[in-house]
Amino acid sequence: MTDAEKQLVRREARGNVALILIDNPPVNATSQGVREGLAKAIAAAGADPAVAAIVITGEGRNFVAGADIREFGKPPLKPALTEVLNDIEASGKPVVAAVHGVALGGGFELALACHARVLDPQAHVGLPEVKLGLIPGAGGTQRLPRLIGIVKAIDIAGTGRQVNAKEALGLGVADAIADGDLKEFATDFARGLVGKPIRRASAAAPAPFDQEEAKAAIAAIDKKARGQISPRIAGETVLLAAKLPFSEGLARERATFLELLASGQSKAMRYAFVAEREAPRAPQIEGVAPRKVARVGIIGAGTMGAGIAVAFVDGGFPVSVVETSAEAAAAGAKRIAAPWDRHLASGRIGAAERAAKDKLVSIGSDLSAIADRDLIIEAVFEEMPIKQETFRRLGAVAKPGAILATNTSYLDVGQIGEASGRPGDVIGMHFFSPANIMRMLEVVQAPKSQLDAVATGVSIAKRIGKIAVVCGVCDGFIGNRILAHWRPLVDMMVEDGATPQAIDAALENFGFAMGPFAVADLAGLDIGWARRKRLAATRDPALRYASTIADRLCELGRFGQKTGAGWYVYPGGKRTVDPEVTALIEKVSAEKGRMQRDFPAETIVRMVRAAIVNEAAKVLQDGIARRPLDIDVVLIHGYGYPVWRGGPMFEADAIGLEHVLADIEETHAYAGDGYEPARLIVDLARDKRGFADLAPGEAERAA
């Protein structure tokens, strides 16, 4: 049914108040039909003598989640949202926005164009356009500062963060918090404004403010953006409200919005927005119903197990955790409680909510506690024999139909599943640390995993606020396999003349939150060391081994932040270059007779990106990932690949695969075996095609 046929905007009479309802599921985006409907409804209400005041609200879970992202990049359709909002603001009858769920982007701008805003106690408002590489384009940067001041508006438009009802009231952007039914409350509120002077945001002047404070706020936002441009530009556009009359500021905002709309960064971020929502729709589980999951069990309450327990309790699930002993269980209980205690102390949650968390989690050392659980997640030590023993016992204890999931980050899920005696019920659920924070979840499908088990893993992810990507079995699945491929490359560079700090700086300027050596120190060097020792017997002697320095650091007990020293030292918590490490690097390079060479930041970035894209193409060829977007989502949400680049596959297409292939060949010439160009990339570059042009299953056929 087209927009034109759907009644997207309705008007109801509530006495002398016209209630205008926006009804455009799923999120009431301001599509062309909604804009047209709003313009007509406001004009009709304005002309209707029986109407003294107007309330605008949304049907369903939300007020309005913004402009329709699907219309971006297409020829603009009339009426423009800016015009519709100006009409609403110009109304001679008071217009009140009744906000529930979210009012985001164009939705918040709609509320700002109204003369007053009444919020449901659970409502949130915000201008997340920067998260799409944009800035508000319908008055948000000009109306908001006139209501709450320049500096606060810079924060909201520049960060894209959501503001809850209580804060919105405090900021003065909400006029009231509804008590009882929102529509009724807003209708009474609007009736109360009849005959009173109408307050239009555009007519107000921003309150006096400290220029230096505003500049500092923009600089702080820009620093955090690490190369993404829209946050700084959003802040600078808000500043215009202090310099220009509303109509001029609005025109400048619009011009800047259209410029960003055509920018590479915004195209990348809009792709990432859609990819994040497309990823859980894995082709192999289309139409497959998940199993019912009401109660969850977790084996192991170490760092990962505890984080997973917190994620499920935060998602509302009763969780039973089993540890090896009463002492281990007590230590685990502390780990699980820690984030909630912090939230209670910071006022983020109240005492009642804190107590409710405790009611949902139990911990002990008796395995039978998970016998009635619908889903059991194992998070024990990353050793195959230990995992297999755990699954042998789980296979016997767990009820028929229960899903058995392993949180292994590298090991063969098929092999683990065999140990349970019921491999059909076994999947991988690879959480990322810290598991209660990181949104990425690799759902691993082993050869014998039943599709409804995989579908259950994916549906559970959404219920605990995670983004699921389905992947096949190989060493490290999608993310860790790619990491294990490019990580040795930077170790080689260190042996050959680059410094860890230069490599970290180059990749942080590229947009990664943290460079690889700093990440290693954070995660702990001992984890990689244990893995290298485990793989030593099967390592291919033809491949260059460049982890000698890392091994030496570990032999010295330098495991990173947890020991105060690793690749760096951390006096006062500050990451600091250690001359001892510099000397160790020189010593090992000399021992190995490594020729020293120069690695400009540009070369480091090109080679690392080439290695990531190349291995990612092999992941596609091997069918471990089915779609390029799966890889982009994992790298962005699991490994901090800059979202404003769209992920490695999207960026490689934007650069052009023939150029990326040249970088891959340069990297191969430098790093040798293991870095040969992927067949898929050679073919696509030859045919002047990109990853986005791949047909389903085509990559595997290229292998």
Contact set with ligand T1G (CB under 6 A): 26-27, 29, 65-70, 81, 102, 104-106, 109, 128-129, 132, 134, 136-138, 140, 277
User: Could you tell me the smallest distance in angstroms from the CB atom of residue 172 to ligand T1G?
Assistant: 21
Minimum distance between the CB of residue 360 and ligand T1G, rounded to whole angstroms?
22
Q: 700: buried, middle or exposed (CB in 10 Å: 19+, 13-18, 0-12)? A: middle
- Percent composition of the chain: helix, strand, coil (DSSP 3-state, to 5): 55, 10, 35
Nearer to ligand T1G, 404 or 460 (CB): 460
Alpha helix segments (H runs only) across 423-515:
451-463, 479-495, 500-510
Q: Do 495 and 588 touch, CB atoms closer than 8 A?
A: yes
| Closest by CA position to 25, among listed 1, 53, 50 | 1
| Position 458, amino acid | V
Catalytic residue among 5, 59, 83, 129: 129
- CA–CA distance, 500 with 489 (Å, rounded to integer): 12
The DSSP result for 152-186, as a single string, is HHHHHHHH--EEEHHHHHHHTS-SEE--S-HHHHH
Min. distance of Cβ 427 from ligand T1G in angstroms?
Answer: 23
Min CB(102)–ligand T1G separation in Å: 5
Sheet with 17-22, side-by-side order of all strands: 9-14, 17-22, 53-58, 95-99, 116-119, 176-177
Burial class (CB in 10 A: 0-12, 13-18, 19+), 404: buried
Question: Least separation, in Å, of the C-beta of 266 and ligand T1G?
Answer: 10
Amino acid letter, 156 = I
- For ligand T1G, the closer of residues 277 and 562 by Cβ is 277
Q: What are phi and psi for residue 18, nearest 5 degrees?
A: -90, 125
User: Which residues, in sequence order, are CB contacts of 464 under 8 Å at separation 6+?
Assistant: 311, 312, 314, 315, 317
C-alpha 630/C-alpha 372 separation (Å) is 33
Instruction: In angstroms, give the least distance from the CB of 1 to ligand T1G.
Output: 16
DSSP H or E segment with residue 7 = none
Pick the catalytic residue from 36, 109, 323, 615: 109
Nearest approach, Cβ of 26 to ligand T1G (angstroms)?
A: 4
Task: Tell me, yes or no, if 418 is annotated catalytic.
Answer: no
- Structure token digits, residue 482: 């790619």
Least spacing, CB of residue 156 vs ligand T1G, in Å = 13
Concerning whether 213 is annotated as a catalytic residue, the answer is no
Q: Rounded to the nearest 10 degrees, what angle do helices 516-523 and 500-510 cross at? A: 100
Task: Give the nearer residue to ligand T1G in terms of CB position, either 110 or 304.
Answer: 110
Q: Per the structure block, which two tokens stand in for 257? A: 């919005």
Active site residues: 109, 129
